Amino acid sequence: MRQPHPLVRYAFSLLLVLLCAGSTVHTAADTRIGGVVLYHDPALGLFVQAGDETVQALGVDGTPLTPGERVEVTGAAATKDGRRTLSGAHVVRLGAGTLPAARAVMTAGLATDDSANDWVTFTAVIQEVTPTKTGFDMRVAVDEAQV
């Protein structure tokens, strides 16, 4: 069998490198979601409202995203603390969007609510905020009670 000229092999190798440079290779196991950015923190990741759930994307590099941006996120899916997460996430900005309406929660239900939709609204006085590895703990008061 006749071997291709060395320059042909070099050109083909260079083409493969150029095609792969700057692109992220995703496996069949990767999950893709679309939604609206709720919050982005370098340590905690990106929180995206996708339908009726809040998805946490981990390993997001680059320019910080702002609440209300529409994005598409691809990554390896897992469940952590009852929440769907995407690790090794790759984010594509799709443009401006609007924040979805938050789910109303009674203040007393904040400590026991286990819905995957963390984008909530409540009325209370925040007394204390403590950063944790997985988010924030808040002490709030309403009508003489604390949660």
Confidence of residue 29 (pLDDT cuts 50, 70, 90): low
Mean pLDDT of the chain: 75
Q: For residue 71, is pLDDT > 60?
A: yes
CA distance 51 to 35: 7
Q: For residue 13, is pLDDT > 60?
A: no
Q: For residue 115, is pLDDT > 80?
A: no
